[in-house]
Amino acid sequence: MRQLLRRILTRSRKARRWYAVVGGYRSASYRPIRPWQVRGRQFTVTWRGLDPDEVAAFLDRVGDDLGGVYAELARSREETARIKDALRRWQSSQASMREMARR
């Protein structure tokens, strides 16, 4: 799953930029949390703490959900880029036709 998500995110220049900074409003030093970071998180065990097995199971679920969200976001951004490109092409063709009609 990680390799698939990495391939999706590094396909285009825009996706690589997104990989470093999510949303564009955070500083460049901000790195979003990744699914493997959630799954690999370790907590200290205390006498009155939570059950480590339950915590690990929960973190696995959160990591899987987070991976799905990132994959869907990447697909959405790719579709948005595709639609924007199609709109630009249409606008260019309309401008060309308008220019030809003026002559």
Instruction: Break the chain into its structural domains and give their ranges.
Output: 2-102
Instruction: Read off the tokens for 15.
Output: 């996706």
pLDDT digit string (tens) for 44-64?
777 788 888 888 888 999 999
Query: Distance (Å, rounded) from C-alpha 51 to C-alpha 35?
Result: 21
Q: Higher-confidence residue: 48 or 78?
A: 78
pLDDT at 55: 87
Model pLDDT for residues 2-32, shown as the tens digit of each residue: 666 566 666 655 545 555 444 555 666 777 8
User: How much is the pLDDT for 1?
Assistant: 63
pLDDT at 79: 97
Copy the structure tokens of residue 95.
Answer: 């401008």
Q: 89 φ, ψ to 5°?
A: -60, -45
